[in-house]
């Protein structure tokens, strides 16, 4: 892989690329650099108040990104179609160095959808989709690491100034390379000053949802609860991510931060879809038990197996309807994520020219986070949940210049606004569900999430 080894070589590549730029095009330059932890690098990319994104799949692909070279934010029924169009157009307009770069260094559009296509009340909640072509992108996989800078040319921004900015920033970042510096300086203990009492309100909604399921109006409904925590001090989202890396090593940790005032942080165990070189994978993940429970209890639980099979059958049917030939193992396996164990069935297929976000639209939301039938379940969630889901249980991830895509389901997540932290968790209700067990499952998930974020469990706030 031949990358510019000297600044004159980088400048020559930048100048050549800039000549190919059409109107509204963007110059995109990349350089390899010494192995650097993207979690550590993120504070050194961009400037204060910039958009920040982290995709922490270590030891797999990890990405730190900052700044917005181009962006899209909208709501409505065409959000997946328009996000696909924005991604394809933004990535096709890039002019980059002629030498090929490895897959990990490809330019990416970053994506964060909301659970519903539009907020219930206009002007509130998260937009149906947010898409960002970042200014800075640092990607790492194994010992390989690349830094990319993307800027629109014009005015004081020239091919030379972009090359100089990239070259200088790489030198500054390489001073940080080596063993990952400790995040201990950020780990000032934070306690919970107050937590909302969610139990009573959830129980009444739970009873109504179970009635719908038992009467056969719904096959399944995933009813969520939101817990509001007031912390006794501010929290750094990167500190939360550092804790999630230790407590959730098998999940994909993520950060979506549009401003200093608000950050979505989480560790998703659930893959909506991954596309690599024309091969698709989606995860059916439903059925939950605490880690200490005997493994065969979850595998032999009629309720959990039924709930899980509904998810597997629905994902398989959606992919078949899209013209694919999905494959799946005959039986689920157990997947451990932190202190919880889930029933897990991977589903794979070969692509036949379908657009990634068209498939994502067909899959979202799976019965693992919504219910069945989908349309009726979504309507009941709007009625029974007294809050906006926002990004909870919605797709988050990226798409690159070759169409490779990774979208995770934003569960095991929280939204941080200064000293305010919102946590959301849900339980899947099917015929035969017991109210007390579902209450215990939601309380377990909330407690585990607080532990994974290094917070004291908010006992007494049920």
End-to-end CA distance of the chain: 56
For 456, other C-beta atoms within 10 Å of its C-beta total: 11
Pick the catalytic residue: 270, 307, 361, 422? Answer: 270
Helix 435-452 to helix 237-247 angle (10° resolution) is 110
Token pair recorded at residue 57: 């799949």
Where are the extended beta strands (E) located within 79-238? 94-96, 108-113, 129-141, 144-152, 192-195, 220-231
Token pair recorded at residue 421: 């932290």
Q: Is 402 noted as a catalytic residue in this protein?
A: no
* Cis peptide bond upstream of 373, omega within 30: yes
Q: Is 303 noted as a catalytic residue in this protein?
A: no
For 176, other C-beta atoms within 10 Å of its C-beta total: 16
Where do the H-state alpha helices sit in 291-424? 295-300, 302-321, 356-363, 374-384
Token pair recorded at residue 193: 């000053």
The CA radius of gyration of the chain, in Å to the nearest whole number, is 22
Which residues touch 293 (CB under 8 Å, ≥6 apart)? 341
Where are the extended beta strands (E) located within 157-270? 192-195, 220-231, 252-259, 262-268
Pick the catalytic residue: 97, 220, 385, 388? Answer: 220
Token pair recorded at residue 175: 């001073």
The answer to whether 40 and 50 have CB atoms below 8 angstroms apart is no
Q: Which residues are catalytic?
A: 220, 270
């Amino acid at each position: 892989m031949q990358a510019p080894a000297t600044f004159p070589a980088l400048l020559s590549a930048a100048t050549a690329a800039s000549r190919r730029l059409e109107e509204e095009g963007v110059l995109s330059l990349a350089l390899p650099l010494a192995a650097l932890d993207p979690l550590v690098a993120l504070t050194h990319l961009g400037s204060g108040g910039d958009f920040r994104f982290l995709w922490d799949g270590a030891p797999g692909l990890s990405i730190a990104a900052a700044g917005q070279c181009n962006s899209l934010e909208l709501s409505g029924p065409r959000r997946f179609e328009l996000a696909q169009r924005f991604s394809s157009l933004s990535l096709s307009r890039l002019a980059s160095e002629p030498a090929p770069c490895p897959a990990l260094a490809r330019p990416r559009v970053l994506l964060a959808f909301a659970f519903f296509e539009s907020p219930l009340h206009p002007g509130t909640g998260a937009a149906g989709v947010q898409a960002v072509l970042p200014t800075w992108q640092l990607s790492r996989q194994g010992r390989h690491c690349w830094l990319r800078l993307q800027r629109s040319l014009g005015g004081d921004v020239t091919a030379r100034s972009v090359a100089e900015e990239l070259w200088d920033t790489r030198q500054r970042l390489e001073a940080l390379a080596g063993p990952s510096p400790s995040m201990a300086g950020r780990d000032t203990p934070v306690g919970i000053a107050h937590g909302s009492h969610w139990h009573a309100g959830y129980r009444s909604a739970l009873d109504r949802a179970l009635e719908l399921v038992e009467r056969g109006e719904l096959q399944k409904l995933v009813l969520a609860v939101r817990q509001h925590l007031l912390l006794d001090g501010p929290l750094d989202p990167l500190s939360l991510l550092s804790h999630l890396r230790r407590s959730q090593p098998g999940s994909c940790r993520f950060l979506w931060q549009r401003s200093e005032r608000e950050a979505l942080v989480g560790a998703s165990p659930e893959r909506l879809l991954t596309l690599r070189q024309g091969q698709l994978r989606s995860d059916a993940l439903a059925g939950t038990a605490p880690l200490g429970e005997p493994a065969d209890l979850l595998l032999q639980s009629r309720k959990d197996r039924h709930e899980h099979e509904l998810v597997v059958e629905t994902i398989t049917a959606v992919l078949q309807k899209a013209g694919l030939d999905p494959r799946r193992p005959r039986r689920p396996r157990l997947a451990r994520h932190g202190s919880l164990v889930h029933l897990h069935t991977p589903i794979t297929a070969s692509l036949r020219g379908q657009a990634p976000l068209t498939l994502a639209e067909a899959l979202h939301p799976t019965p693992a986070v919504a219910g069945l039938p989908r349309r009726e379940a979504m309507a009941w969630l709007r009625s029974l949940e007294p809050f906006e889901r926002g990004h909870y249980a919605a797709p988050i991830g990226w798409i690159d210049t070759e169409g490779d895509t990774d979208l995770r389901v934003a569960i095991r997540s929280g939204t941080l606004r200064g000293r305010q932290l919102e946590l959301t968790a849900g339980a899947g209700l099917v015929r035969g569900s017991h109210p007390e067990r579902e209450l215990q499952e939601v309380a377990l998930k909330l407690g585990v999430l607080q532990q994974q974020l290094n917070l004291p469990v908010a006992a007494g706030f049920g």
